[in-house]
Amino acid sequence: MKPLYGFHAVGARLRAAPGSVHAVYVDASRRDARMQQFLRKVEASGVTLKTLSAERLDALAGTDRHQGVVAQVDDLPSKHDMHAVLDAVQGPPLVLALDGVTDPHNLGAMLRTADAAGVHLVIAPKDRAVGINPTVARVASGAAETVPYLMVTNLVRSLGELQDRGLWVMGTDETGTDEVFAANWKQPAVLVMGAEGSGMRRLVRETCDQLLQIPMLGAVESLNVSVAAGVCLYEAVRQRRL
């Protein structure tokens, strides 16, 4: 078992897989409307509900950023196979590939954006990336339960398999010759985001079919990786909705 905390993350798990939730613990001192609404959802799910002090919740979650809600949950079984996920997609698939994103706050933010933008699959390498942990789940606000997140053994090989399926692989890089707004996002596409600071590794960069850049009009040289992913994914949304 592991802790899961925050209204959104715990609420999403109760909706998606209530059988994986052993118990929900809430702050005994919170009686506001948001908590009352959440308590009704827990009671309707049939999951054991207990009240604890804020201090005991801090210890259970390992942090004080739990919003007064902590659950003890089982890991969900991995049901995400890259090709099985894409086989079920209707229309052109949109995949987000993360090359070495290690900050859980960035991963959580990108999963949340990926869910909002209709991304079908997120992939990352097993050897140099953060997995789904309580911080990621909290920041993702439920998206960690809804967006398939697959950690692959070899990212370059997986990108090659996606290319063999007809997906066009586009990486973001300051050396990109095309702006992100000039790319064709209506086609089956993979957006590759590099690591915080260092960007994509050389082999990943060389695997991309196209390198894109986000125009920077001010004094700063780059955007936070999660913000950059949001810019690119919503350009894909804009084009696909035309």
Alpha helices in 133-242, H assignment, sequence order? 134-140, 155-164, 202-207, 225-241
Token representation of residue 182: 């000039």
Binding residues for S-adenosyl-L-methionine: 194, 214, 223
From the number of C-beta atoms within 10 Å of its C-beta (0-12, 13-18, 19+), residue 79 rates as: exposed
Cα distances (Å, whole numbers) of residue 95 to 51, 111, 148: 41, 12, 10
Alpha helices in 17-53, H assignment, sequence order? 33-45
pLDDT recorded at residue 80: 64
Cβ–Cβ under 8 Å, residues 163 and 66: no
Q: Look-up: residue for tokens 């869910």?
A: 115
Q: What is the mean pLDDT of the chain?
A: 91
Q: Please state which of the ranges 66-70, 127-131, 233-237 shows the lowest mean pLDDT.
A: 127-131
Is the same domain home to 65 and 86? no
Is the same domain home to 125 and 96? yes
3-state secondary structure of 95: strand
- Give the domain CATH number at 172: 3.40.1280.10
Single residue among 20, 55, 73 that ends a domain in this structure = 73
Is the same domain home to 22 and 136? no
Single residue among 20, 38, 73 that ends a domain in this structure = 73
Rg of the chain's alpha carbons, rounded to an integer? 19
Is the same domain home to 142 and 202? yes
Residue 30 has pLDDT above 60, yes or no: yes
Residue 218 has pLDDT above 60, yes or no: yes
- pLDDT tens digit string along 38-59? 999 999 999 999 999 999 999 9
- pLDDT tens digit string along 143-165? 888 899 999 999 999 999 999 99
Binding residues: 194, 214, 223
Is the same domain home to 122 and 231? yes
Give residue 26's domain range: 2-73
Is the same domain home to 98 and 195? yes
C-alpha–C-alpha distance, residues 88 and 231, integer Å: 26
C-alpha–C-alpha distance, residues 30 and 36, integer Å: 9
pLDDT band at 33 (very low <50, low <70, confident <90, very high): very high
C-alpha–C-alpha distance, residues 119 and 96, integer Å: 7
> Per the structure, how many domains does the chain have?
2
pLDDT band at 9 (very low <50, low <70, confident <90, very high): confident
- Kindly report the number of other CB atoms within 10 A of residue 218's CB atom: 5
> In the 8-state DSSP scheme, what is residue 179?
E
Cβ–Cβ under 8 Å, residues 69 and 24: yes
| Angular region, 129: left φ>0, alpha ψ -120 to 50, beta rest | beta
- pLDDT tens digit string along 64-90? 889 999 999 987 665 568 988 898 898
Is the same domain home to 32 and 66? yes
Q: Report which secondary-structure segment, H or E, holds 182.
A: none
- pLDDT tens digit string along 82-116? 988 898 898 999 999 999 899 999 999 999 999 99
pLDDT recorded at residue 76: 67
C-alpha–C-alpha distance, residues 24 and 21, integer Å: 8
Cβ–Cβ under 8 Å, residues 21 and 73: yes
> In the 8-state DSSP scheme, what is residue 91?
S
- pLDDT tens digit string along 137-148? 889 988 888 899
Edge-to-edge strand ranges of the sheet holding 69-73:
2-5, 69-73, 21-27, 48-52
